Amino acid sequence: MGGLQLVESPIALRLVSAASRPRRRLSLATFGHGLRPFRGCNGMICVSKARQTHVEVSSTYLYKLTSPKKVKFSTRSTSASVQPMTQDITEDMHKDYPISGDEIRTRFLNFYASRGHKILPSASLVPDDPTVLLTIAGMLQFKPIFLGKEPRSVPCATTSQRCIRTNDVENVGKTTRHHTFFEMLGNFSFGDYFKKEAIVWAWELTTKEYKLPPERLWISVFKDDDEAFSIWHDEVGVPKEHIKRLGEDDNFWTSGITGPCGPCSEIYYDFHPERGSESADLGDDSRFIEFYNLVFMQYNKKDDGSLEPLKQKNIDTGMGLERMARILQQVPNNYETDLIFPIIQKAANLAMISYAKADDATKTNLKIVGDHMRAVVYLISDAVLPSNIGRGYVVRRLIRRVVRIGRLLGIKGAGEGNPDGAFLPGLAKIVIELSNQIDPDVTGRMPHILEELKREELRFVQTLERGEKLLDQFLASALLNASTNGDRPCLAGKDVFLLYDTYGFPVEITAEVAEERGVSLDMNGFHIEMENQRRQSQAAHSTVKLSVGNEVELAESVPDTEFLGYDMLSANAIIKGLLQNGEPVTEVAEGSDVEIMLDRTPFYAESGGQIGDNGFLRCKGVEDSKDTAIVEVKDVQKSLGNIFVHKGTIKEGKIEVGLEVNAIVDPRLRQRAKVHHTATHLLQAALKNVIGQETSQAGSLVAFDRLRFDFNFHRPLFEHELMKIEELINQWINDSTLLQTKVMPLLDAKKAGAIAMFGEKYGEQVRVVEVPGVSMELCGGTHVSNTSEIRGFKIISEQGIASGIRRIEAVAGEAFIEYVTTRDNSMRHLCSVLKVKAEDVTGRVENILEELRIARNEVSALRTRVAILKATALVNKAFIVGTTNIRVVVESMDDTDADSLRNAADYLVDSLQDPAAVVLGSCPGDGKVSLVAAFTPSVVKMGIQAGKFIGGIAKLCGGGGGGKPNFAQAGGRKPENLSNALEKARVELIAALDGKTS
């Protein structure tokens, strides 16, 4: 075939042309930037937009150049090869894309905004939903609306939602499309439009806004969804051969065993239309990619499996931003889009390798780094810090995976002349640079994110080093077992997995080190352990659970509760609903526990860390003023959106739906809660002032008796810092500042600098509580009107509760007075016992402790003297072993303590002189066993080591131990076995020494 061939060579590119065709001049700039076909060509070429290179060709045929290069062409004739280039080929590290990921996102949101959708911000990666660990779908923030638990604030919405999924983490980097972090573009209808509009708009967005060729698009519909098939074919015009009917597994969305559900319709892009329509399989990842999923939520699945139409039909869609970017940017996979590739480039630079020239395994590792770095940066930004539980474990696992892979790639330190530094912060900076349109708040949290990543990486590197030592032990054990059993040495799969999972040791490195020692790996056992872990991971919150039942029925009959508690502590209200044992009832009798829904209430329902109010509900008689019923309210919770559930016990009479009650909040307890809530705001402000603005709230509790505040920080607070925090807060209390409370739009509040409370969900209008000049927070809780009401503040404790999470407990107001009074009474009693004044207590206690230390030392010295006296008698019990006259003592020393036993062993080896071996045992009490072995240098040179010897003996006593070759200690919990253990020590020691001297 005649035409132009582009043949890549290390030093040049050759042009081989057919001489029979007319010459014409083409500008490579005609192709634009990125991969874009030139009209009349059957291939593509990738060029740098900045380089206006021209080449003479004699054909309209161009073949694809697979590796992006900066090239310079020159031709002498239509049949001659191009001469060597005037400069070396260098990898273009700054790709040009036809359209950016940010532009794709903006176009999507604007498209639906122009069609009446409200653009809403991405929800946090920490969902306000106990059924899921992390935000895994764009619809999650709308779940209460889909369930009918919350009224819709808008008829339809559009979002770009940040999502995290880790159930397919092992596929990341290996496929073209799997991610742990991704953005889901979505449009949602809450009973507004339905199937027709969703389909027509999706097609219009895809083909007109994004200009994807219609002939490359395929559609899937549920097998029984004739309506969707008809809309796609009859109204949109998609050919029948491009519409596939699929079964329930592929195209019917369910939220769980019961609940909202409905058929789906998906749009696929075809990368290889030349393969034709016959027998096309939409599940073929090498040809198709599904990028848009339309869920028609139209049924409620009942307990018996039957489907009933929903009263409100909803639309829930999702378009994968990374997938659409891959299509529009014409790159081989999601990772080489401008959303991820800059991170990969940075990692490649740190590893001093070329991504374009790397083998598949290296490219896979670089892709994993690019993906995981996005996940950890956004998780830490959303206050999820590395730990060993829950969400924190997800962050820790991903960070450790990146660190492991970085070491495998050869990344050494920060890549900035600091081989011992951390490299994750450098990668995180690239992620943050790309974050402005995803989440603008990430940039402001950069110092905190970088510091957390640095700290976690350096901590893990130390763990890796411990893993290296453990690997050495495993290999030594494998070699020993093989020599004993006559087998080929093999490292157990569970040990390989322990190194990988707990210590982050790459399997490749384990295999390489093991091979050097002649040890193979049990990879089957390793894969079994991996599969067990994968199943456990997938079982943990990987789907969004919805349910429709009594709750929705109750929500339809019970209105939202009007909260009056900001302005009053008592009010008349009507009982709108009753629950007993979780079931709706119409009346409840005396002595029963009950849950009561009122139309209005002064009771605060637990939220924002503040517990619910306590108090009473009183029902008045019609003819007199006596109470016909009294309910003691012990807790108030929010349920079904904004319905307040008053939980309590009927103390007198009976109550029924429709009765009027007088709801009375306990004013003393309310005041305690108000004081502690305002003090919590002051505490957060003081923490930021003293230890840094980057610290943020990670949880809180506002109770009647105390407050608890969890915050992100990497170390314990120093005593002077705690004193400074208390001093600041008490000064603000003393300033008698009036609080200001106002309601404003959420965006205005954030611009004003208001801090959001952890775990709270906010609408478009928010309540802002401000202590002028000190604190401004979004908060729906109850607060004092003046800081002077707090009276005083005292920190009770400061401690770590997880990696990177500290907790302060404190008291204020009446609880502060009670705490100080109790402490004062304790001090008075202590002064009375010690017979000193309060100011002299510290000195007196220090003197007592010093006297106690001296006494203990004297006792210890006496015990040692007694042990040595006993040891003196044991010198005469020494026996001779071997031809070199090795003196050996193996004896029990009754109840001698461990320290004295060690001193006795030292005395004996000194007295017996080299060569000598001593093994002593004792039962010091409390069911304990102490053992010690001491060998002189000549014995150690024979290959008999105290540490290894004593460990085997201690097993008989239900314990273990070890130490140096010349001296070791061990312990156990079976004193009844000590005599047998010492007899074994005697026999084995004689055999070992005889064997070495014969």
Which residue numbers belong to the known binding site?
A: 677, 681, 779, 783
**Cα 538 vs. chain centroid, distance in angstroms?**
15
Cβ–Cβ < 8 Å for 144, 152: no
Q: Which of 731, 729, 768 is nearest to 747 (CA)?
A: 768
100 Cβ contact list (under 8 Å, min separation 6): 338
Q: Output the 3-class SS for 887-919.
A: EEEEEECCCCCHHHHHHHHHHHHHHHCCCEEEE
CA distances to 146, 190, 219, 323, 798 from 296, in Å: 12, 11, 15, 22, 51
Rounded (5°) CA angle 690-691-695 = 125
Enter the tokens of residue 456. Answer: 């976690």
Sequence length of the chain is 998
Long-range CB pairs of 205-210 (<8 Å, 24+ gap) are 205/108, 205/111, 206/267, 206/292, 209/107, 209/108, 209/111, 210/104, 210/107, 210/324, 210/328
Task: Please state, in angstroms and rounded to a whole number, the distance separating the CA atoms of residues 758 and 351.
Answer: 38
Rounded (5°) CA angle 43-45-51 = 155
Residue 191 burial (CB < 10 Å; 0-12/13-18/19+)? middle
Q: Which of 481, 513, 510 is nearest to 498 (CA)?
A: 510
Q: Which H/E stretch holds residue 644?
A: strand 643-652
Task: Please state, in angstroms and rounded to a whole number, the distance separating the CA atoms of residues 219 and 200.
Answer: 13
Binding residues for Zn(2+): 677, 681, 779, 783
The strand pair at 967-972 and 627-639 is best described as unpaired
- Helices 814-834 and 841-875 cross at an angle (nearest 10°) of 60
Q: Can the peptide bond before residue 915 be classed as cis, meaning omega within 30 degrees of 0?
A: yes
Enter the tokens of residue 780. Answer: 């729906």
Q: Which of 363, 376, 505, 354 is nearest to 431 (CA)?
A: 376
Q: Which of 282, 263, 294 is nearest to 189 (CA)?
A: 294
Task: Pick left, alpha or beta for residue 582 (phi over 0 → left; psi -120 to 50 → alpha; otherwise beta).
Answer: left
Start-to-end Cα distance in the chain: 86
Residue with tokens 């006496």, as numbered in its chain: 862
Q: What are the beta bridge partners of residue 975?
A: none
Give the DSSP letter of residue 235: I
Count CB-CB contacts under 10 A for residue 470.
15
**Cα 379 vs. chain centroid, distance in angstroms?**
6
CA distances to 674, 765, 871 from 742, in Å: 17, 10, 82
Give the DSSP letter of residue 171: G
**Cα 387 vs. chain centroid, distance in angstroms?**
8
Enter the tokens of residue 978. Answer: 């000590």
Q: Which of 677, 673, 638, 706 is nearest to 769 (CA)?
A: 677
